[in-house]
A = this chain, B = another copy of it.
């Protein structure tokens, strides 16, 4: 991808990938910016701008080759890499993520899981045995970890993040309902479920404003 890509475009990338995969599964080989825009609730000109920004695929008037564009966007998203993932905190959310079949299918493999609760230690999560949180630092010394799923209580999230950083982990998928401070060379993407539910409730409260 040439030059700066805006956050808005980055946020739309996985949607492109998803829709193109669906189209491919339906046997569609070629799609116009009009048709793709209709599916994605974007204007044809937004579609063209976005895709130009990914590196100028397709030819005006001919549409895009579905499989080729999907492959290209997949590469941009790093889907050609496999990712070793660990779960910190095996509560409701942590274990749901560990068991979610799509992630491993897409190359995000849960390789270890940690918790402090003695009744969870030793439990099998999708074939992975839950280890005591006290063993995290040693584990990180001996194993390569690409992504840590942070699903611990908010109050210990910042400390756990520091242990991850010290252990060499540079990417965190954070489910703890708090905003974390992190070094510049660490990537943190948040899933704030309570925030998302509040946005729904906002729209419900203001549905008749307009």
Chain A interface residues toward B at CB < 8 A: 1, 10-11, 13-15, 17-19, 22, 39-41, 76-79, 81, 83, 92-93, 95-97, 99-100, 102-103, 106, 108, 146-147, 170-171, 173, 177-179, 185, 187, 189, 191-207
Choose from B39, B79, B92, B205 the contact partner of A78 (Cβ within 8 Å): B205
Known: A100-B193, A191-B193. A14 touches B92 (CB 8 A): no
Known: A15-B179, A100-B193, A178-B18. A187 touches B173 (CB 8 A): no
Looking at chain A's contact residues, the main secondary structure is helix
**Number of copies of this protein chain within its complex:** 2
B189 near A78 with CB under 8 A, answer no
**Chain B positions within 8 Å of A196 at CB level:** 14, 173, 189, 191
A197 near B99 with CB under 8 A, answer no
Choose from B103, B171, B193 the contact partner of A194 (Cβ within 8 Å): B103
Choose from B10, B81, B173, B202 the contact partner of A77 (Cβ within 8 Å): B202
Known: A92-B96, A96-B96, A193-B100. A147 touches B177 (CB 8 A): no
Instruction: For the complex, give the distance between the alpha carbons of A196 and B195 in Å.
Output: 15
A86: min CB distance to chain B, Å: 14
